[in-house]
Amino acid sequence: MDDTRLFAWFQHQEPAVLIEALQHAYRAMTTKQRQAVFGALLQQLPPAPVDGEQLQSEIHTFYQASVHGAY
């Protein structure tokens, strides 16, 4: 594949096209490849917000299932 032509074409695309290409590339990668390509960027992202009530509910559900031998 001619990366020069590909990246020249990318330079003229709308952001939505670039995001779609990144999504396809990300999904095609192994975990190790994702870490190599996106690892440093992911460390710069702010933490995702957490819904405390939802998390507590999920913990309780997990605990109950565990007590009843599901795991």
Q: Which domain holds residue 56?
A: 3-67
- When pLDDT is averaged across residues 6-29 and rounded to a whole number, the result is 96
User: What is the total count of domains within the chain?
Assistant: 1
Q: What are the start-end ranges of the H helices in 1-71?
A: 3-10, 15-28, 31-44, 52-67
Tokens 């999904």 identify what position? 27
Q: pLDDT (tens digit, 9 = 90+) per residue, 19-53?
A: 999 999 999 999 999 999 999 998 899 988 999 99
**Is residue 1's pLDDT more than 90?**
no
